Amino acid sequence: MIPGPFTYHRPADLNEAVKLLATLDGEARPLAGGHSLIPMMKLRLATPEHLIDLHGIKDLRGVRRDGDRIVIGAMTTQHDLLASDEIAKALPILRETALVIADPQVRYCGTLGGNVANGDPGNDMPALMMTLNATYQLIGPGGSREVAATDFYQGAYFTALEPGEILTGISIPAPQAGHGYAYEKLKRKIGDYATAAAAVVLTMSGGKVATCRIGLTNLSETPLLAEDAAKAVIGTSLDTASLQKAAAAAQTIMAPAGDGRGPVEYRRYVGGVLVARALRRAAERAA
What is the model's pTM?
Answer: 0.94
Q: Can you tell me the mean pLDDT for 181-196?
A: 94
Report CA 69 to chain centroid distance, whole Å: 17
Q: Which amino acid is at 157?
A: Y
Supply the CATH classification number for the domain 180-285: 3.30.390.50
Q: Are residues 65 and 72 in contact, defined by beta-carbon separation less than 8 angstroms?
A: no
H runs (alpha helix) in 125-199? 125-131, 149-152
Q: How confident is the model at residue 35 (pLDDT cuts 50, 70, 90)?
A: confident
Round the average pLDDT of the chain to a whole number and report it: 94
Topology of the domain comprising 62-173: 3.30.465
Q: Residue 26 pLDDT > 80, yes or no?
A: no
Task: State the CB neighbour count (10 A cutoff) for residue 205.
Answer: 10
pLDDT of residue 104: 87
pLDDT level of residue 27 (50, 70, 90 thresholds): confident
Distances (CA, A) of 266 to 131, 148, 244, 271: 24, 31, 17, 8
pLDDT at 140: 93
Judged by phi (left if over 0) then psi (alpha if -120 to 50, else beta), residue 102 lies in: left
* pLDDT at res. 102: 87
Q: What is the pLDDT of residue 33?
A: 85
pLDDT of res. 103: 87
Report the DSSP pairing between strands 69-73 and 166-173: antiparallel
Closest listed residue to residue 213, CA positions, set 141, 146, 148, 127: 127
Average pLDDT over residues 167-176: 96
C-alpha separations of 15 from 20, 76, 211, 244 in Å:
9, 19, 41, 51
Higher pLDDT, 26 or 70: 70
Provide mean pLDDT across the span 70-95. Answer: 97
Please say whether the beta carbons of 248 and 231 come within 8 A.
no
Sign of the C-alpha dihedral computed for residues 83, 84, 87 and 89 taken in this order:
positive
Give me the architecture of the 7-53 domain, per CATH.
2-Layer Sandwich (3.30)
Instruction: Determine contact, residues 51/36, Cβ cutoff 8 Å.
Output: no
180-285 shares the fold of 7-53: no
Share of the chain above pLDDT 70, in %: 100
- The domain segmentation of the chain, as residue ranges, is 7-53, 62-173, 180-285
Average pLDDT over residues 188-201: 94
CB 135 within 8 A of CB 170: yes
